[in-house]
Structures are given as C-alpha cells and as structure tokens.
Amino acid sequence: MHQEKIDFLMTLLPNIRMKYLNQISTMVTVKEDTFDNIVTDIDLKIQEELTSTLSARFPEITFLAEENDLQEVSDQMWIIDPIDGTKNFFRRNEDFALSIAYYEKRQPVFGFVYDIAKDLLYLGITGQGAWVNQKKMDRVKVRTLHESVLDMNLKTTFTLNAKKPGCVEMLSHEVFAHRSIGSAAISLCRIAAGSHEIYISSHLKLWDFAAAQIVLEEVGGIVILPYEPNRQIAGKSVLLLGCSSSKLYEDLKAILFISELTLPSKMNSNKNGE
C-alpha cells in the first residue's frame, strides 16, 4: 500500500544527495539571538526540492517540516528535517542526515534517514523491519549499562541535572563511555546498527527523530519521551531517550528520572507506540 511512496523516495533521495553533496554553504541565517539554531541555504534548498517534488506526486499529503512554515498536522503527513545535524554539516561535513517520515493518523508508517557523508540510507517500516542500503538490519544486541556507550550533549546534562540533581554524575560512573555526535537521527540509527547504545537529548522536535525512531524500534530498540509523551506532534520540543533495549531503559530510568515515570504498557513488546 505504501510501496509507491517508498519506491519514489528510494530514487529521489540519492539524487538529492548527489546534487548537494559537494555544494559549499554560501549563506548562514542565525535564528534568534542565541546561535542555538543555524540554518544554511542548503537546508532550505533541500527542503524546497523535497516538498515541491513530493507535493507534485502526492498532493493529498501535508508537511510538518523544520524550515519555513510548512507545519500542518493532518491524517497523512510527511515529517521532514532536510538536514539534521546542521552544525556538523557546516563545520565538519560529516554526521548529518536528511530525515523524512510518513505518518498516517498521527502514527508512524515508515521513515528514511540518509547519512549523507557515509552514503547510508536507513529505512524503517512499522511492523516490517529496518534496512540499511536495502540490507535488512539485525535485531540490536542487548548490552548492560556498564557495557554501553552514551551519546549526549552538554545542554542535556544541565536539563537532566535540573530535574534530578546529581543524576548525570551518577550516570557517568555507570556507562562504559560517553560521546557526542550532534545529530539525533544519526545517533538513533547508529544505536540500531550497534555502534553505541544510548542517546539522550533534552530539546528535540518531531522532525529530528520521527524517521529514526521507526528504524530503532524495528530492530528492538526503545524511544521514550519520558516527560511529555504527546507534545511532539504539536511541533513542541521534548526530552527524548533512545536506547537499545527495555532492560537498559529500566536501568537508566532508575538513575535519571523521578520514580513515578514508568514505561507505557505497550513497552513490554519493546514498543512505545507513540
């Protein structure tokens, strides 16, 4: 039923990658005063190309997209981040991704995350599995907290500590290592691929993680919005925790969150269904 949309994107996304891969960013617009969020001309061009091509082919589907004001929640919608990890794109030219998910009736149907620099195209289809460059991904390996590598940024440490003082220091004694990649979509897909186990970010919007969440959940991973499970669909920012197993989530929850936070009941089958 959704194969036509998937096939269309399978062709479109590599074409967009080839077109923009070697383009140098020529203009940077700083939103607000904080330099918290940058947007380059390439973010805008990729979003424009995606939305115009998709709306010509599938005119009934609306867009919830990061740039411009294309933010309409409906029963059939594309959720698009043209570049997730724009600061990486701007400064390092790696670890940034094009992310596009398709939702029906506010439920995830499928999502693509394209790691542009590494040319890895992840696809998750709800209930069917996940693929990378068309190769089916294995279920993710379960590791203990002591074996786990955590990906988290500085801002998130402040937020977690404000909610539960001392929790980040406690966490630092429990994990194997800490890194910070700088792209939610890439990080969640790399948990799915087994290169690390935990990602926590305090300020994400739905387009940052919608597609990658499907990929990770389809290989047995967990994505939780512990404080605000329904805010993301309205385009508001949320604290997100992604990890490779429900056991790991239980261990993290005990360290990071106040005690009354529990998994939604659907989580017993490794899904949170959000």
Q: How far apart are CA 244 and CA 222, in angstroms?
A: 6
**In terms of DSSP H, where are the helices of 138-245?**
154-163, 167-174, 184-193, 206-218
Q: Which stretch binds Ca ion (CB under 5 A): 60-68, 90-98, 142-150, 262-270?
A: 60-68
Least CB distance from residue 134 to ligand 2AM, whole Å? 25
- The smaller minimum CB distance to ligand 2AM, of residues 80 and 256, is found at 80
Strand partners, 113: 99, 122
Least CB distance from residue 248 to ligand 2AM, whole Å? 21
Cβ count within 10 A of residue 196: 22
Say if CB 42 and CB 89 are below 8 A apart.
yes
Best CA proximity match to 82, nearest among 4, 167, 23, 144: 23
Stated length of the chain = 274
Interaction residues for ligand 2AM, span 147-206 (CB under 6 A)? 153, 182-184, 201, 203-205
Beta-sheet strands, E only, within 93-156:
97-104, 107-115, 120-125, 129-132, 135-136, 149-152
Residue 36 binding result from ligand 2AM, Ca ion, none, given CB thresholds of 5 to 8 Å by partner type: ligand 2AM
- The smaller minimum CB distance to ligand 2AM, of residues 101 and 204, is found at 204
Q: Which listed residue (9, 77, 85, 124) binds ligand 2AM by CB under 6 A? A: 85
Least CB distance from residue 20 to Ca ion, whole Å? 14
Asked whether position 84 contacts ligand 2AM by CB under 6 A, the answer is yes
Say if CB 142 and CB 190 are below 8 A apart.
no
Asked whether position 37 contacts ligand 2AM by CB under 6 A, the answer is yes
Residue partners of 118: CB distance under 8 A and separation at least 6:
94
Residue 85 binding result from ligand 2AM, Ca ion, none, given CB thresholds of 5 to 8 Å by partner type: ligand 2AM
Q: Which listed residue (50, 51, 64, 81) binds Ca ion by CB under 5 A? A: 81
Per CB under 6 A, residues contacting ligand 2AM are: 36-37, 81, 84-86, 153, 182-184, 201, 203-205, 208, 237
